[in-house]
Amino acid sequence: MKRRAALAVLAAGALAGCAGTAPAPPGDAYVFAYFIGNGEDGLHLAGSRDGYRWDALNGGRSFLAPTAGKAKLMRDPCILRGPDGIYRMVWTSGWNETGIGYASSPDLVHWSPQRELPVMAHEPTALNAWAPEIAWDERRGEYLIFWSSTIPGRFAQSEAAGDDAGANKYDHRIYATTTRDFATFTPARLFYDPGFSVIDATFVRTRRGDWLLVKDETRHPPRKYLQLAHAASLQGPFAPLAAPITPAGLWTEGPTALQVGDDVIVYYDAYTAKHYGALRSRDLVHWEDVTARMRFPDEGTPKRMRHGTALRVPADVLDALRAR
């Protein structure tokens, strides 16, 4: 009965988002959740002690095979360690599905049964639900889940402007829901609309405050870059978007961020160039390209990292993962 109630609420509403938290205390470490290929073999993890040198864990093998959804993919995994110490993960379960995947774990190894959360079931013409993220809103004591969806005809002005919608019918906005227990969810709502097709939203949580980081998905003329908007809270309001932070002409997606010491590092998937990149900043205005300092698993191979999420973990969690 509880699950039916949850699905009923989701059908009338929806979910929301993933981000790093405050700077790492001494002795903590970092884990990067990602997928390879099309996401058919599930969850991959990499580990690091400094945020620069990342090594594939479990011998590069998947930690969790996908079972949720029709296509049974596990793309764009976002993992958040909640205040209760439980890791909660959401992911894209299919290219043309309006639900997302969800599972939880005490240790990133043993996972609960996977569930499909029908976040856009209340919108019968919705085309998709991509790149969900999850964040803990400490002010409100709830989880925020957010994702990108296209509802044809909903935003006629940007569709007519000849962006991605004009090319292939996608014209995304960010939608969201909240939950305290992952059993019931608030109705899904429009969360962020910058006036153009936008995907891959994530929160950058830093010592200086919170920012929303998004990808401009406009195709004509091509933008495909990342921009930041200062967030008064996880619920907004959001300041106007600042200038793009990723290099001109480099198509990027799937950003994720960590506070490492005094620096904020933003990692991104340069998907057309088929490599991962990284930027760092102390004021979130001036950015330095530190891609050359990074080491990512299997760069330049078909097993290279794709659209992932970096998170802070206790050092003993990473040690246990490396011992497998």
CATH code for position 57 = 2.115.10.20
- Which domain, by its residues, includes 302? 2-323
Q: What is the pLDDT of residue 160?
A: 56
Phi, psi of 267 (to 5 degrees): -100, 145
Is pLDDT of 98 > 60?
Answer: yes
Q: What is the pTM of this model?
A: 0.91
Q: Which of 309, 199, 201 is nearest to 256 (CA)?
A: 309
Q: Looking at residues 91-105, what average pLDDT do you find?
A: 98
Number of domains the chain contains: 1
Give the pLDDT band (50/70/90) at residue 11: very low
Is pLDDT of 1 > 50?
Answer: no
Is pLDDT of 2 > 50?
Answer: no
Q: What is the pLDDT of residue 83?
A: 96
Structure confidence by residue, pLDDT tens digits, 251-287: 999 999 999 999 999 999 999 999 999 999 999 999 9
Burial 184-194 (b: 16+ CB within 10 A, else e): ebbebeebbeb
Q: What is the pLDDT of residue 166?
A: 46
Structure confidence by residue, pLDDT tens digits, 195-219: 999 999 999 999 889 999 999 998 8
Give the chain's count of helices (H) and strands (E).
4, 19
227 HSE (CA, 13 A, CB side): 21
Q: What is the pLDDT of residue 27?
A: 74
Q: Looking at residues 123-135, what average pLDDT do you find?
A: 97
295 contacts: CB under 8 Å, gap ≥ 6: 52, 53, 54, 55
Q: Which of 319, 317, 320, 322 is nearest to 86 (CA)?
A: 317
Note the maximum CA span of the chain.
54
218 contacts: CB under 8 Å, gap ≥ 6: 161, 163, 164, 196, 197, 224
> How far is 217 from 222, CA to CA, in rounded Å?
8
For residue 237, whether the previous peptide bond is cis, meaning omega lies within 30 degrees of 0, is yes
Give the pLDDT band (50/70/90) at residue 127: very high
